[in-house]
Amino acid sequence: MKKEQNEVLLSVDDLRVYYTANGERVHAVNGVSFQLNKGQTLGLVGETGAGKTTIAKSVLRVLPDPPARIDGGKIYLEGTELLSLPEKKMQEIRGKKISMIFQDPMTALNPVFTVGQQIEEVIKIHEKVTGAEAVKKACDMLEMVGIPPERSIEYPHQFSGGMKQRVVIAMALACSPDLILADEPTTALDVTIQAQILDMIKRLKDEQNTSMILITHDLGVVGEVCDTVAVVYAGQIIEMGEKEEIFEHPTHPYTIGLFGSIPDIDEDVEYLTAIQGMPPNMANLPSGCYFHPRCPHMCEACRESAPELGDIGNGHLVRCHMTGKERKDGGFD
């Protein structure tokens, strides 16, 4: 059994990011804070456009500049503040300390290089090895993710979508990073391949004792892989806690809405429960609580003031004015 880790690997403090588009500021991340312990997996959950990928790219410092700009906050990796590091130092960290599995394997690989060459490049940049040693390690990595080593001389177009994703994972794990940022790694794959990829990611992460931030909108994936969960809405974490706590006691109206939209094979219903309305315009966020225009429990305080992220017990954090009045066991009436 894997030993539990309590040492903090990553700490994000009040991160704020905006994009400039058509003369407007699009507030993508609005004061996000969390910690990730060594060996743990954090799931970032929320609708498309909530700011999940922007958070991950901020950690790796690969946001496009322009139009993106980090407007405030601190990011610490084992005590080292990443946002103030010179670019040369960040290049040493990317791929070695932190790796990213990008969302679309079709575009994450360079079509003019063999898959072996692309894995070898990561190894040569971060490790003192000969060319032959890099080739051997690249083949070993492919074998580890279930691809025959002899296929290292083939090009991305010769692989299926699932195989491409395996190559991207092999590349991300090539230098045994401390942290993996997995951006919806199974979205482009069919259900059977999704299950295989998730099992493989979980096994390899456990074997290498790697921490992971998993970005997804699929709560089933979170239930399979994650230790802790952070629900993201309009660039803010609105609920966070241990996976069991969030799944058994969802408390924020938005989180309750997410769980209500999941089909239940034990219930015969004509329609799934949908969250009313649309996500807010990130260039013109509503006053007070960002969720209040869609919330069935909205009160006057929700319009006027922004709620803080408060602990309701067992490390379960919720950003809601109603928390404490209408409590978590069963959520809201």
47-67 per-position pLDDT tens digit: 888 999 999 999 999 999 889
User: Do 7 and 42 touch, CB atoms closer than 8 A?
Assistant: no
CA distance 2 to 188: 30
Instruction: Report the pLDDT averaged over residues 37-45.
Output: 95
Amino acid at 157: H
In the block, residue with structure tokens 């496009």: 64
Among 260, 255, 228, 225, residue whose Cα is nearest residue 318? 255
CA distance 26 to 50: 12
CA distance 28 to 69: 10
Alpha helices in 65-146 (DSSP H): 87-93, 105-108, 115-126, 131-144
Q: pLDDT at residue 325 above 90?
A: no
**How confident is the model at residue 91, as a pLDDT?**
92
Instruction: Report the pLDDT averaged over residues 14-20.
Output: 97
Instruction: Report the pLDDT averaged over residues 311-330.
Output: 75
User: Do 98 and 77 touch, CB atoms closer than 8 A?
Assistant: yes
Q: What is the pTM of this model?
A: 0.88
Q: pLDDT at residue 3 above 60?
A: no
Each residue's pLDDT tens digit, 225-276: 999 999 999 999 999 999 999 999 999 999 999 988 777 777 777 777 778 8
The side-by-side arrangement of strands in the sheet containing 24-37 is 24-37, 8-21, 68-77, 80-81
Grade residue 329 by pLDDT with cuts at 50, 70 and 90.
very low
Q: pLDDT at residue 285 above 90?
A: yes
**How confident is the model at residue 188, as a pLDDT?**
65
CA distance 21 to 72: 19
Q: pLDDT at residue 328 above 70?
A: no
Q: Find all residues with CB under 8 Å of 136, minimum gap 6, and list them.
A: none
Count of C-beta atoms within a 10 Å radius of residue 115: 27
Amino acid at 296: P
Each residue's pLDDT tens digit, 128-167: 899 999 999 999 999 988 899 999 999 999 999 889 989 9
Grade residue 5 by pLDDT with cuts at 50, 70 and 90.
low
User: Do 36 and 211 touch, CB atoms closer than 8 A?
Assistant: yes
CA distance 138 to 150: 11
**How confident is the model at residue 331, as a pLDDT?**
47
Among 315, 332, 314, 196, residue whose Cα is nearest residue 323? 332
Q: Is 266 exposed, middle or buried (0-12, 13-18, 19+ CB in 10 A)?
A: exposed
Question: Is residue 264 classed as helix, strand or coil in its secondary structure?
Answer: coil
Q: How far is CA 74 from the centre of its chain?
A: 18
**How confident is the model at residue 208, as a pLDDT?**
81
